[in-house]
Structure 1
């Protein structure tokens, strides 16, 4: 019925359509934001049909995060519930050169990106200071179109529409705008055993510039080659696949050694991963095939830690930091891999530890966002307690673990 009426409107066969009594003009930012939350809550309780898409804009010039940061946690929680109920979300953002605002945006959006059901498009005319005012469009349920008279958000209004024909028209307009005036920010890779992702990882590492790495446990580049080969054989992989994986390893290690003499390489890991490694002798082995938990013998673990110390001592620009479990305002995603290469790209992967194949793989190459990710991880690094990132302290702690493991080996 809605489709038929919309088609008739397109052909100007119907001069007008009456709105319902639920269609309103809402006054003031608090009221409009509250109505947006209510609309999304309705969607979170209604199962999506055929993975329908909810369309949302974020004009970061309005900088909602500055004025109503306390509400954003609630907003994000509801978006998680919406996604969990089968909806896909497409966010359209207006990029500008304000890196500070983009960092806040990343902090808000990163947990949603890793669901794999959150798509971001951006308008690519950087000189634009404003996008058309904010919109939320939920198919068949409702739409909000915001109007703000100034950037302070004090004089904000919104048209709230439940008329299904009007919602359909707004949705159609939004899709057309996206196709003509925006680009996808996130470029996805297949989450299957994708050798192309391995190639791109090598190409990313080749680029000049500083590098940040965030992941749960140590990078495979920390493994000595003999141990890495042995662990791959433990996985029961074919000789050809092992050869491919080791080829990527050698290329990445050579690039690491060449670049780290000039540029800063900072790795961020989580303290619980070290407990897994030392106490349970468990290491999550990563390659382009995916992630798999491997058991290490005591001597293998000693060799592993000694190689990490060798790299830390050999390369002054290489540093490791550990995020403690009780650290506040820091990301502590166990299932996240994030590599940022200065001035080039961001690579993001998410995993389910119970499964080998990654849940999601993507890259970001838009320069403004890459720069914001650099600053975001720098900010995280700065907030990590000195005792868990100072190179001398880290080496000293690793040496104590090695002594403990050697004592265990002798007792056995």
Structure 2
């Protein structure tokens, strides 16, 4: 099959021994951090996942600094990526693991400084020992993602405005530092309405888009290669429209990375959705996802598609690997159905208010995607 290459990245944090809390914390003992290093994860992906994927799929890795990758293990991870023919697709400073009072937005000067230093060390690592693991195409350079998990608060006071200003100043400084290193990375904010605080700075896609516009206006930070890490599930969690989110992201040329997953409520099978906690299922085949795939194709997006997912808390290691394969193949199926969609017929039906016919077209696309998934999965 003559097919354009697609780029899927797999997250180190997916390979965990168990969720804990109300479900077992060691359901997958072989994935305990003492037994499975980040370099081991790369080898596991190469040996157990890559052979089950279509030949047109290129794989990348996503990691948190400094809990999953750091100065001590970077060389081993880099060598494993090279040996596996994989690339560094995304890295994020894991500030949420260390800073619970706002991180780089914190009103505590000491915490803010430490969080800023964590981000700068992350940049150094990407341009240092991990530089050889970038894809040779500059348009597939890694994304430096700022997840807003540490940019939160629980008191609604006038201090929130100062936190927001701190955030702008700190991210502007980070962008300048990265520009001095070469300016080759893509930098994206991953919005989220909650977790790990009751209230968050930058909770929505619109918040992130406005934030980068303010950085440009106040600090002269160019918006090229800056934007949003599209996270399907975070929009779903608060009942927002992730199809329209896609339109906003593309309209602002701000789609720098994607985190594909689902909260489950829209596939008619898996429970979850608005008002629930972050479930992070893998990709589901839905009409919404086919629509998003079509919008991306129309815009020419062909960067990394990250699978920010958690295997189910009752999955063993073998089932966990299978979940990752299913997620990648599900997105490929959605993309194929989107490519085959009769857009002229769909737009004609919508123009003539024949919405039932438009619904039929999308339903048939969902059926086609499921059939295509079955072919890929069995193959």
**TM-score of the aligned structures, taking structure 1 as reference length:** 0.27
- Select the structure of larger CA radius of gyration: 1
Identify the structure with the greater strand proportion.
1
**TM-score of the aligned structures, taking structure 2 as reference length:** 0.29
